[in-house]
Amino acid sequence: MKLALLIIGISLVFFPKASEIEKQISKKEYAEIWQEIAIQQMVQSKIPASITLAQGILESGSGNSELARKGNNHFGIKCHDWTGDKIYLDDDSEGECFRVYANAEQSYIDHTNFLLDKKRYSSLFLLELTDYKGWANGLKDAGYATNPKYSELLIAIIDELKLYELDVVSGNKLNAPNLTAKNEKSDSQNHTIAKHQNNVNYIIAKKGDTFYRLSKEFGLGLWQLYKYNDFYSQKDILEEGDIVYIQRKRNRSKNKDLKLTKSMSLREISQEQALRLEALLKYNNSITPDLILSKGEKVSLR
């Protein structure tokens, strides 16, 4: 018995939890994913895209922080004058209140509005759009963060990734290179639309895909993509191979039921079978959305 407990103890020490081995997003990957919305915000509000991305990388740990993952908050903006959802995490003090967003795009938009609305940042908008060093020093002087090296950290990120190349615009036309290396195959190419056997259009996600990118490609609102798909949360960064529906899923299937060939939850089945999760829950009213059902079990599809 003691030997068994010892083995369990050793396993707990040497084998990391699933959350600890989850793939981390690099700074370069983060910039590639969010550069489009950063440039869009720059064109609309005259905040350098390099500054926006550098702040996102620094404040969210390249999107890997608990605040970014749980609250979609990429800029560390706290709850002052906020009536939306909140999350409490330790920062300068214990249990500080931070804003929570439905998706990362809302975080980027709120970051823009935050800088536009606060008088202490107004002088920054008098700077040249390409003066990222002036913006970095101005943000530090205006008290955006308490770290005395905040401006140096932002400038180092911008220089390392050459984010200043994104700040070049001509009127409202973007004249900025994609950060993807020229010898790499671009992930921004158009997707092929397929038809599910349940008569619903979908695409297969590629590496680096986000709901934001797909919404632009297919002319859909983010709210539509969230409504059409039943993932565990309103995630923005999709996994390669994810089925993403670009029209509303059906309420019923042609098949009466499904015998599972592997362990799955109703949420996963809803994506595989092009059926709305709320309909599946109705047909299987004793099952919760994320309960894992065993291989061989039958699930009602209508």
| Residue 225 confidence (pLDDT) | 86
Fold of 194-245: Membrane-bound Lytic Murein Transglycosylase D; Chain A (3.10.350)
Q: Which residue has the tokens 């709320």?
A: 278
Return the bridge partners of 169, or none: 174
| Residue 169 confidence (pLDDT) | 59
Pick out the chain residues at pLDDT < 50: 1-21, 170-188
CA distance 71 to 123: 30
Q: Does this chain's domain 27-174 share its CATH topology with 194-245?
A: no
Residues 6+ away with beta carbon under 8 Å from 33:
25, 63, 208, 210, 237
Q: Hey, where are the domains in the chain?
A: 27-174, 194-245, 257-300
Percentage of the chain lying above the pLDDT 70 cut: 84
Backbone angles phi, psi at 127, to 5 degrees: -80, 160
| Residue 300 confidence (pLDDT) | 93
Q: What is the DSSP secondary-structure string of 212-271?
A: HHHHHHHT--HHHHHHH---SS--SBPPTT-EEESSPPBSS-SSSEEE-SS-B-HHHHHH
Residue in 141, 169, 135 with CA at minimum distance from that of residue 155: 135
Residue in 125, 128, 149, 124 with CA at minimum distance from that of residue 138: 124
- In residues, how long is the chain? 302
| Residue 234 confidence (pLDDT) | 59
Q: Strand, helix or coil at 141?
A: helix
CA distance 57 to 75: 9
Q: Which CATH architecture has domain 27-174?
A: Orthogonal Bundle (1.10)
Q: Which residue has the tokens 């592997």?
A: 262
Return the bridge partners of 300, or none: 257
- The H helix count followed by the E strand count for the chain is 11, 9
- Report pLDDT digits (tens) over 35-60: 888 998 999 899 999 999 999 999 99
Spell out the long-range contacts of 226-232 with Cβ–Cβ below 8 A and sequence spacing 24 or more: 226/102, 226/103, 229/271, 230/267, 230/270, 230/271, 230/276, 230/277, 231/267, 231/271, 232/267, 232/290
Q: Strand, helix or coil at 170?
A: strand
pTM over 0.85: no
| Chain Cα centroid distance, residue 60 | 11
| Residue 24 confidence (pLDDT) | 80
